[in-house]
Amino acid sequence: MPETRTEPPLELEILYQDEYLVAVNKPSGMLVHRSWLDRHETRFVMQTLRDQLGGQHVFPLHRLDRPTSGVLLFALSSEMAAQMMPKFAGREVKKTYHAVVRGWVKEAAVLDYPLKEELDKLDDKRARQDKAPQEAVTAYRPVAKVEMPIAVGRYATSRYTLVEMKPETGRKHQLRRHMHHLSHHIIGDVNHGDGRHNRMFREQFDCHRLMLHASALELIHPVTGQTLKIRAAVDETWQRVMQAFDWPISSLDADSIFDNGIAQLQS
């Protein structure tokens, strides 16, 4: 009989856990839940976390795109999920992302640029196609810059910026589309990015992922009333790029309010 290959068990990094909530550091390339659009996939954050917690049901409170890594928060009961969802919808939860983008972002700013809803051809085939653009607001600031002696296109060198972003709304692919609008495409974005720079990162830095990371999440704990701050460390690909650009890992600290990637409770 042919040998059956099984994937080794994957253990998610748990960033915070109590009797009401659990947060993990989602790996890039991993789907949050099963999707009929990706039927060949066998690993999902929800099922993996459920197994890791001994069969405990988990309820996602927000979403991260498949290629995005970082903080992902779940409720441990449907009642807590119902209590928490309005807080995400009401912008009571503060999210911080970091990204590597092409070009030099010169100064901090807030981009208020409405976005038309992105629809999947199959999944959203019954949705209205003529909806007006929705409000989309992103605050961003440059954290570090570099100019590399690597030719991309017609330029002899290439410039990149490490950007911190704080979305005030949660539109689909908002950060990727906003950076595209500014002509500072996020590296590794195959839909809204620049293929030349993506290819250079694959060849020079063995970087085959979207360089977008959900670094931190801040919210008021729904039961204790304390401020809960959770930070997620970056993976090896991020570390390799940061080292190549001589950017210290401390550059990824969200306003320097976190410590060693461990969740903190502040009264």
Q: What is the DSSP string of 31-95?
A: BSS--GGGTT---BHHHHHHHHTTS---EESS---TT-EEEEEEESSHHHHHHHHHHHHTT-SEE
Catalytic residue among 65, 112, 120, 189: 65
- In this structure, the chain runs to a length of 267
The SS3 assignment for 28 reads coil
The SS3 assignment for 13 reads strand
**Amino acid sitting at position 149:** P
What is the spatial distance between Cα 266 and Cα 126, in angstroms, rounded to a whole number? 46
CA distances from 170 to 40, 103, 174, 249, 253 (A): 28, 25, 7, 27, 22
- Known catalytic residue at 38: no
Active site residues: 65
